[in-house]
Structure 1
Amino acid sequence: MPAPVRDIALLLGRVLLGVVLVAHGWDKLVDQGVPATADFFASLGIPAPEVAAVVAGVVELGGGALLVLGAATSVVSVLVVVQMAVAFWLVHLGNGVFVADGGWELVGVIAAGALVLLGAGPGRASLDHLVAGRRSRPRR
């Protein structure tokens, strides 16, 4: 695959994944708010629901924004995969695939996108690439 096509695909995938994460994080922290999110998490049996609500919201909102920029992509990708794995095991495992039935399809697709970025990197249209390029240049 030509490098420009690869970079465009990574940019679009990274931005789309980031926007979805930002929307979910915003909902947890702002629209619903941490107390309501924690109450919902408690109803699902998630341990330490207040802490889990804040962590989930921050990883999604902050991590999603970083993915849109292509910054700290590897770190964010790992955090997102871990968060989606926890959601899978604690909430979605016994509910089948479809999200309409409480299934794991959304957390699976989000984790898959994060794994692709972890493996392929953010592409050249990213802050990570810009920073790496500056580090590799010799100082004068």
Structure 2
Amino acid sequence: MNAFTGRAMRPAADVTALIARIAVGVVFIAHGWQKVGMGLSGTAGMMEGMGVPAPQAAALFAIAVELGGGALLIAGLLQPVAGVLLALQMAGAILFVHASAGLTGEGGYEFPLVLGAAALALGFSGGRFALDRLLPWGRERSPEAVPAAS
């Protein structure tokens, strides 16, 4: 890709990143909302039945990360933090719930694997249409403002 095509593709890349952030964020929020519907004790009981350690804490973490992280991902706010937390949540789901079922099939880990990887990738490359861009850490600096490497 040369300088021209890179500039020409950037708006399309930003739009597709926004669409992906929305899609992945909505899925996380939907799963978090399912857990809210079960209640904290119901979610903890489910996790305990699956052998998840510290099920009460795991349930609280799952609900908070899936709802909050999904919303942050959609908004494009604190994207790297949201991406890492969502990926960690999915790593826990794979490790404690899905790994024994293998990659594909009933209870397989392909879905949490893709969700976690997508959240992590979008957390670090979520495009310019994000609230992070309005905050000091998300603004692009002009080449003159970047200190020269010594």
Report if aligned partners of 2:14, 2:127 keep a CA contact under 8 Å in 1.
yes
Correspondence for 1:43: 49
Farther off after superposition, 69-78 or 106-115: 106-115
Q: Is 2:13 the partner of 1:6?
A: yes
Correspondence for 1:22: 29
Correspondence for 1:129: 133
- CA drift at 1:96: 1.8
Report if aligned partners of 1:67, 1:73 keep a CA contact under 8 Å in 2.
yes
Q: Structure 2: give runs of 5+ residues left out of the alignment.
A: 1-5, 146-150
- CA drift at 1:27: 1.2
Q: Is 2:101 the partner of 1:91?
A: no
Percent identical pairs in the alignment equals 41
Correspondence for 1:66: 72
- CA drift at 1:136: 5.0
Q: Distance in 2 between matches of 1:124 and 1:42?
A: 41
- CA drift at 1:95: 0.1
- CA drift at 1:118: 3.5
**What CA deviation, in whole Å up to 9, does each residue of 1:12-66 have, x standing for no partner?**
000101000111111112x111111111000000011111001000000011011
Task: Pick from 103, 108, 111 the counterpart of residue 116 of structure 2.
Answer: 111
Q: Structure 1: give runs of 5+ residues left out of the alignment.
A: none
Q: Distance in 2 between matches of 1:122 and 1:108?
A: 19
Alignment length (residue pairs): 134
Q: Distance in 1 between matches of 2:20 and 2:39?
A: 28
- CA drift at 1:112: 1.6
**Aligned-CA RMSD value:** 1.8
Secondary structure of residue in 1 paired with 2:32: helix
| TM-score, length of structure 1 as denominator length | 0.88
Q: Distance in 2 between matches of 1:118 and 1:127?
A: 13
| TM-score, length of structure 2 as denominator length | 0.83
Correspondence for 2:3: none
Report if aligned partners of 2:84, 2:119 keep a CA contact under 8 Å in 1.
yes
Report if aligned partners of 2:80, 2:120 keep a CA contact under 8 Å in 1.
no
- CA drift at 1:97: 2.2
Q: Distance in 2 between matches of 1:73 and 1:27?
A: 23
